[in-house]
């Protein structure tokens, strides 16, 4: 089951990023793509919340999901902008560095480190470095463009790490409410950024009808990637779900994400989480 959940997260996030980058190449601003897709994601989660009948947890840690949403806005905006400019190779180092940051925080907090997880993390970092270094477009960039790409990568990676840590903490309370809160926070923050950044009215920046099916697809696969990772597990495993779809090849094909990291993720821990004692 853990392998299937990890693979589902990898495919969902990979497809979401692919279609998001494709949509941001058009006239619609990046922040608008993020805002509309994330708010549609909230609508998709609402039936789960209504069907369960549970109110939101009365715990301030749920606000960490809102913090995660802000981090997602930063990450997706940087990633989509890079994709729209042809810098697809940036996704590999971004995912690897973000996962490494989240794993480091988890280890400091007391998460166990297994041999398989350590080996997988090293392989991810090395693979990301090779993927970025050997990309055919990196050699054709000026020094200023190269440093711009590096800054974008580091910023997005920091956002990934912050999102994983915050959302993991909020997800321990209630995975569905944490997911809904994250998507709502991302949608609202991205929408405000779109209004401020473009200095246009809301009516002028809304996407056209032709883009709505693509945005709905982004929301669907994005939520599909979110929910599997809300199962109780360690921060390291959350990071591996996020890392497993970050490859340059997945930008060319939405279903071409590398799932071997997901398999390592699922096999790198005992049958139950050592901290929450909940079965995987």
The ranges assigned to domains in the chain are 2-267
Q: What are the distances in angstroms from CA 185 to CA 76, 161, 172, 224, 255?
A: 13, 17, 18, 18, 27
Q: Could you read off the pLDDT tens digit of each residue along the chain, which spans 280 residues?
A: 555 655 555 555 555 555 555 555 556 677 777 787 788 888 888 888 888 888 999 999 999 999 999 998 888 778 777 776 676 666 667 777 777 777 777 777 777 777 877 777 787 777 767 766 655 555 566 677 767 777 888 888 888 888 888 888 888 888 889 888 988 999 899 888 888 766 666 666 666 667 667 667 666 666 666 655 555 444 445 454 544 444 333 333 333 333 333 333 333 343 333 333 333 3
Nearest to 15 by CA among 221, 219, 160, 214: 221
Q: Which helix (H) or strand (E) holds 270?
A: none
Q: What are the distances in angstroms from CA 6 to CA 39, 159, 238, 251?
A: 24, 21, 9, 19
Structure-derived torsion over alpha carbons of residues 46, 51, 52, 57, reported in degrees to the nearest 10? 30
């Amino acid at each position: 089951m853990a392998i299937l959940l990890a693979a589902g997260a990898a495919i969902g996030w990979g497809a979401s990023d692919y279609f998001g980058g494709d949509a941001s190449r058009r006239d619609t601003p990046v922040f608008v793509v993020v805002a509309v897709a994330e708010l549609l994601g909230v609508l998709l989660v609402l039936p789960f919340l209504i069907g369960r009948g549970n109110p939101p947890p009365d715990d301030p840690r749920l606000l960490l999901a809102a913090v995660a949403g802000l981090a997602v806005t930063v990450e997706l905006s940087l990633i989509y902008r890079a994709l729209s400019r042809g810098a697809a190779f940036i996704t590999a180092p971004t995912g690897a560095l973000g996962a490494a940051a989240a794993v480091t925080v988890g280890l400091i907090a007391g998460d166990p480190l297994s041999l398989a997880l350590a080996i997988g993390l090293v392989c991810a970092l090395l693979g990301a470095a090779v993927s970025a270094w050997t990309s055919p477009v990196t050699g054709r960039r000026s020094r200023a463009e190269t440093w711009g790409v590096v800054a974008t990568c580091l910023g997005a990676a920091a956002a990934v790490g912050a999102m994983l840590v915050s959302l993991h903490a909020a997800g321990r309370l209630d995975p569905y409410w944490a997911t809904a809160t994250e998507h709502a926070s991302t949608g609202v923050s991205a929408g405000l950024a779109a209004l401020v950044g473009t200095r246009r009215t809301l009516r002028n920046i809304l996407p056209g009808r032709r883009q709505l099916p693509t945005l709905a697809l982004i929301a669907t696969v994005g939520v599909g990637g979110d929910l599997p990772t809300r199962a109780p597990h360690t921060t390291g495993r959350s990071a591996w779900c996020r890392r497993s779809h970050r490859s340059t090849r997945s930008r060319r094909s939405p279903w071409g994400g590398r799932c071997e990291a997901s398999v390592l993720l699922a096999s790198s821990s005992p049958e139950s989480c050592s901290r929450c004692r909940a079965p995987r």
